[in-house]
Structure 1
Amino acid sequence: MRRPLAAIVLFAAIGGSAGSLAEQPPALSPAKTAAAANLVDIRTLVPDIAEDIKYAGSDNFVGAPVDGYRAPKCFLLRPVAEALARVERDLRTRHLRLKIWDCYRPARAVAHFVRWAHDAADQRTKAQHYPTLDKSRLLGDYIAPISGHSRGSTADLTLQRCASDDTHCEPLEMGTDFDYFGVRANTDVPGLTPRQRDNRALLRNAMEQGGFRNYPLEWWHYTFTPEPTPHTIYDVPVQ
């Protein structure tokens, strides 16, 4: 049974890892639709932005479609989506493009992650996503009972370099895949090749110029600052 959202919020308020929300526990928005939450599909602003929304399918660390993802779409609060669209437009002048893996994440999806993390018997994705860690160590820094993604201001993404005519784009080498749980995913980890380090820096510089800050444990994770609703999480399905 899915843990009630009120229980998730209470858990975070008592002792869960919620990052900057530790001082003021977030409130669950009563919004039932994306429009009511002011969440917009990034493709309404950039129709051809590259997407591979991992949690809408089975190619992810859970190994199955995640609760709340009814379509492979990227929703963000409108000011955040507009800022990300500006980043994309600037990158295209340099034959670069973003590729998005995740954006707004419903609270019910985060509850799904927590249930999965507590299921020690399910080790199907260990080799790909957490080869050097015991699954029990994923709770905390990697999987928290409340995610910043549920505030609608965070995106997981990478960078692609395109041909001179922009007809073909390839992801840049970053040193790990998306949702690799381990220190190698830390943005400034030692031991990267010069190319990998340069590519991560290229992504970070582009995102920082657009008003986004990086989460140091994950090179792909960026949050717009200041967040439009820093103390509100949403549970609108992605559809």
Structure 2
Amino acid sequence: MRTLRTPLRAALVAAVALVSLAAAPAPATADRTGPGGRGEPRAPEEFVALHDVAPTIRQEIRYFTPHNFAGEPIDGYRAPLCLVTEDTAQALARAQRSLLERGYTLKVYDCYRPQRAVNHFVRWAKDLDDQRMKAEFYPRVEKNRLFADGYIAEKSGHSRGSTVDITVVKLPAKPTRPYVPGEPLKPCYAPRPERFPDNSVDTGTGFDCFDTLAHTDDPRVTVEQRANRRLLKTTLERQGFTNLPEEWWHFTHKPETFPDTYFDFPVSRRSLASRH
């Protein structure tokens, strides 16, 4: 993509950054501590809050809310906060600077995910009577197939701290209305005007869409949707991320800081080491 030459280009980048900073979410303060707050496991010092490293990256932490495939806030998410290893945060900051130059911003849906959250997913998947969110997130997949088809597993790379679920938003970003529990649901693969509204670019499906259309290179998406997926993928690949082919939104920074460790500290600022 053609870019402007300095000093005009520099002035444009600065202006876009100021707009994004002004609209970026403040560090999360809500903290659902609940019982057992004391004595909880803590994050290693390599973990940081993404907002402290890259404050212009937007955050829409879905598992803190009921707008996800389980239809309820997920265990371990005590704040709407993105926690990642520091090298992952720095790589995301570099990718963000590249996108700001082109008038876009990153937005994360999920980052570090505690093992207790993964356990919550497993319990939910085994409860075949709970189908309240099927119409949006897995309308073409039977719930008893979620394990066999690889949509739910007992371990997640998110628990190691170097994986994020992420998308791109065109600036200036429009607000996304909140989900209202019980509202009519639309399929995650429906045309953009029919899906639940999201201020991200159109990538062909919503986030966490349990459907083959969410495969990064699925040939059925439109030219525009394919270009948007490519923008996200190439931008992150330049900073050391690899994509999970079955999910256009899923990226892992390599080499992982903790390639073999699955953590279970809560998503909360209280989990971070004191230096953060």
Q: Give TM-score, length-normalised by structure 1.
A: 0.83
Q: What does 1:222-233 align with in structure 2 at a 5 Å threshold? A: 222-233=251-262
Among 199, 206, 226, the residue aligned to 2:228: 199
Partners of 1:215 and 1:52 lie apart in 2 by: 20
Q: Which residue of 2 aligns with 1:118?
A: 126
Q: Which residue of 2 aligns with 1:158?
A: 167
| Pairwise CA distance, 1:55 | 0.3
Q: Which residue of 1 aligns with 2:103?
A: 95
| Pairwise CA distance, 1:168 | 5.5
| Pairwise CA distance, 1:110 | 0.2
Partners of 2:152 and 2:170 lie apart in 1 by: 30
**Paired residues, number:** 206
Partners of 1:86 and 1:60 lie apart in 2 by: 29
Q: Which residue of 2 aligns with 1:174?
A: 203
Among 106, 110, 129, the residue aligned to 2:114: 106
Q: Is the strand fraction higher in 1 or 2?
A: 1
| Pairwise CA distance, 1:39 | 1.3
Does 1:83 find its partner at 2:91?
Answer: yes
Given that residues 56 and 105 in structure 2 are in contact (C-alpha distance below 8 angstroms), is that contact kept between their aligned partners in structure 1?
no
Does 1:210 find its partner at 2:213?
Answer: no
Given that residues 129 and 180 in structure 1 are in contact (C-alpha distance below 8 angstroms), is that contact kept between their aligned partners in structure 2?
yes
Structure 2 residue identity aligned to 1:76: V
| Pairwise CA distance, 1:229 | 1.1
Partners of 1:115 and 1:168 lie apart in 2 by: 35
Q: Which runs of 5+ in 2 are unaligned?
A: 1-39, 176-198, 269-276
- Higher RCO (C-alpha 8 Å, min separation 6): 1
Partners of 1:59 and 1:37 lie apart in 2 by: 31
Q: Which residue of 1 aligns with 2:217?
A: 188
Structure 2 residue identity aligned to 1:109: A
Q: Percent identity?
A: 48
Structure 2 residue identity aligned to 1:47: P
Structure of greater Rg: 2
Partners of 1:94 and 1:143 lie apart in 2 by: 35
Superposed CA offset, 1:139-173 (max 9, x none): 1411110000000010001111114xxx7584110
| Pairwise CA distance, 1:48 | 3.2
Moved over 6 A (4+): none
Structure 2 residue identity aligned to 1:57: T
Considering only aligned residues, what root-mean-square deviation do their CA atoms show, in Å? 1.6
Structure 1 residue identity aligned to 2:160: R
